[in-house]
């Protein structure tokens, strides 16, 4: 895969477009995302990102991953 990152020039260089091309697939399909209306000075309230534990949730001490970064179940990790 290859990618292109288009960045706006000027005092506030911001990413405006990102294109990914799958070179190894027939027809070289592309995915494109355009970014606009950047808010570089957002007002974020402290309580906007509060976390509440869902019922039945359990805290994990360690999450195991294999060499490709995929999660390993606790049975595989032993």
Is 13 part of a structural domain of the chain? Answer: yes
Is 70 part of a structural domain of the chain? Answer: no
Is 20 part of a structural domain of the chain? Answer: yes
Is 30 part of a structural domain of the chain? Answer: yes
CA neighbours within 13 Å on the CB side: how many for 42? Answer: 7
pTM exceeds 0.75, yes or no: no
Is 76 part of a structural domain of the chain? Answer: no
Is 23 part of a structural domain of the chain? Answer: yes
The model's pLDDT over 33-62, given as tens digits with 9 standing for 90+, comes to 999 999 999 999 988 888 889 999 988 788
Measured between its terminal Cα atoms, the distance across the chain in Å is: 35
Query: C-alpha 30: how far from its chain's center?
Result: 18
pLDDT bin (cut points 50, 70, 90) of residue 10 is very high
* Residue 8: domain span: 2-37
Is 19 part of a structural domain of the chain? Answer: yes
Is 25 part of a structural domain of the chain? Answer: yes
Q: Count of domains in the chain?
A: 1
């Amino acid at each position: 895969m290859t990618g292109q990152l288009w960045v706006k020039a000027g005092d506030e260089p911001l990413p405006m477009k990102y294109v990914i091309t799958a070179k190894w697939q027939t027809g070289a399909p592309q995915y494109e995302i355009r970014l606009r209306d950047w808010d570089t000075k957002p007002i974020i309230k402290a309580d906007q990102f509060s976390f509440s534990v869902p019922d039945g949730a359990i805290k994990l001490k360690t999450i195991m991953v294999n060499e490709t970064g995929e999660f390993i179940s606790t049975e595989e990790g032993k």
